[in-house]
Structure 1
Amino acid sequence: MDPFMGMCATTGIAACCLGGLTLHSWLGLVPSAVAAAATGASPSDVAALLPVPARRRIRAARILVIDEISMLDATLLDAIDGLCRFVRSTLTSPMGGLTVLFCGDFVQLAPVAGQGVFKGSFSFRAVVWKALFGKRAVVLATAHRHGGDPSYLGLLRRLRCAELTEADVLALQSRVVDGVAPVDAVSLYATVEEARRHNQHRLGALGKRTITYVAENFGGRLSSDAARVVLDSLTPAPDSLVLCLNAAVLAVSNAYFHRHGVCSGWRGTVVGFQASGGAQGEAEELPMVEFKLPSGVLRRIVVSRTNFMAATVTGDAAGHSSSHSSSYNPVRRQLPLVLGWALTIHKAQGMTLELAYVTLSCVFTFSMVCQLAARDEQT
């Protein structure tokens, strides 16, 4: 990772897709620092609670990129502004003189109202926003995910503004199905428990021999339990993955994109298993997964374990250490797959799904509707 660039996102899944860190991790916002900021503490008081490596990162950086900016609270952004000014000893420049690039869609997931002064207000309401950008903003108008379907793209744009036409409503109603989700669809749920139950039901219904892949977690200076909690929240890789023949899976990284054209969110089917040496030298049966590419080509890949890194708020940026044991940063070595029958709407962030099924009764905000409608090519 470039030490002069903070490549961040407001969620762990988005950060993993970028190959970066969560904003809290990069800044070193330990719970005590967040709590202090929530009570309106001064930048110097908040800075005193940051780990030393985090303060070094802030001072050394030249550029700060924040993806999924819609989920950043305005008051927190102002607190970060004050923190950066103090740590970088540049009190008169917004964000302490950092060049910033904020990316996101304010019609999608909104900030979550938190403790103290964090009220869930959009970041463009922050005092520092005008100082940073004024009226300067670049609107990216070209949609790549839905570029091949101009009618659906138009519907999405009108949905964003709550300006659906009668034809749009009829088009959406034409996609309503009764009862069971289509076999090839990924079901999207609002809660983790709903998605877990759906996946377990579909896996059990296959009635085949299962293989369990337990992640290898390297906690660095964290305890094993603490590392597991961090890795569960900051990476898409599961701590335990159970597969069998004909199981539906989703790729959760771009590890096979450049060589095979399979990117995060692609759905495949386990068509076999192949023996391979495990990480500790023992034999391990790796799944052979068949993916259907957009071109229609079927691609079979023997999927092996890969590293998912998550910087903690107490350590250096991911990838700076040469060994797992000495690093502050937890690392999870696991297959880059999850069961592919169901996901939560939040876990689908950053993915392009070929076909999705949504139970709208579980959706509780308008922004979630926009988020899920933009995830897939067919809903």
Structure 2
Amino acid sequence: MIDVLRHELDRNLVVLAPTGVAALNVGGQTIHSFFQLPPGPQPVGRKLQGVSRDVVAKMDILIIDEVSMVRADLLDAIDESLRTNTGKTGVPFGGKTVLLIGDMHQLPPVISGGEEARLFEEVYESPYFFSAYCLQGLPLVTRTLTQSFRQA
């Protein structure tokens, strides 16, 4: 499906995924690498340096594959980074279109013990991306695919 979007849309796309294997499968890079995020609970307001910042400026659409594995704090960090680095702090995702792709019946987000477990007990409703604060109140458009687009 992502290949179809790349060929059909005359837009600047950035394709990301939560793991290295998933990123390789879609010809993209990891979320952490692109946004220069450390592992673990995510900091707020991190400014991008170098190449990623230039790419963000030119990006029209951000595609995140395997979204079932994306934690709520990670999606909030993505939102905060895009707001900060586009200068559009009052606009969700810095005004960029975000396409979340994935099967919610596949792998869940990974939560370690300690600080991460406390974060999701005290701050978020669940570890899943849909509990991210950045999505609350947004008009989300969902589509259910009926044809498999699995990589060979």
The match for 1:138 is 143
1:124 to 124, 127, 130: 130
CA drift of 1:60 comes to 2.2
Q: For residues 84 and 98 of structure 1, what CA distance do their matches in structure 2 show?
A: 8
Deviations 1:82-141 (A, max 9, x none): 11101110111111011111100111100001474554711011122244443x211113
Write the distance in 1 (CA, Å) between the matches of 2:67 and 2:139: 14
Q: 2:86 is matched with which residue?
A: 88
Secondary structure in 1 matching 2:102: coil
Aligned residues, how many? 136
1:19 equivalenced with 2:27 (yes/no)? yes
TM superposition shift of 1:143: 4.2
Q: Secondary structure at the match of 1:64?
A: strand
C-alpha separation in 1, matches of 2:63 and 2:23: 11
Ranges in structure 1 where 5+ consecutive residues have no aligned partner: 146-262, 265-379
CA contact (8 A) 1:27 1:58 kept: no
CA distance 1:140–1:130, shift in 2 (3 Å): farther
Q: Which has the higher helix share?
A: 2
Q: 1:63 to 1:139 in 2, by over 3 A?
A: same
- Give the 3-state SS of the residue equivalent to 1:101 in structure 2: strand
> 1: distance between equivalents of 2:22 and 2:66?
7
- Structure 2 distance, partners of 1:91, 1:75, is 18
1:55-74 equivalent positions in 2, closer than 5 A: 55-74=53-72
Matches within 5 A, 1:1-379: 4-29=12-37, 31=38, 34=39, 38=41, 41-43=43-45, 46-47=46-47, 50-114=48-112, 116-117=115-116, 119=120, 121-134=127-140, 136-143=141-148, 264=152
Quote how far apart the aligned CAs of 1:55 are.
Answer: 2.0
| Distance of 2:115 and 2:78 partners within structure 1 | 16
Q: Which structure dedicates a bigger proportion of its chain to strand?
A: 1
What is the aligned-residue identity percentage?
35
Structure 2 runs not aligned, ≥5 long: 1-5, 121-125
Q: Which amino acid aligns with 2:27?
A: G
Residues 30-57 of structure 1 deviation map (CA, whole Å, 9 limit, x = unaligned): x3xx56xx26x441xx22xx43222222
TM-score (norm 1): 0.32
TM-score, structure 2 as length reference: 0.75
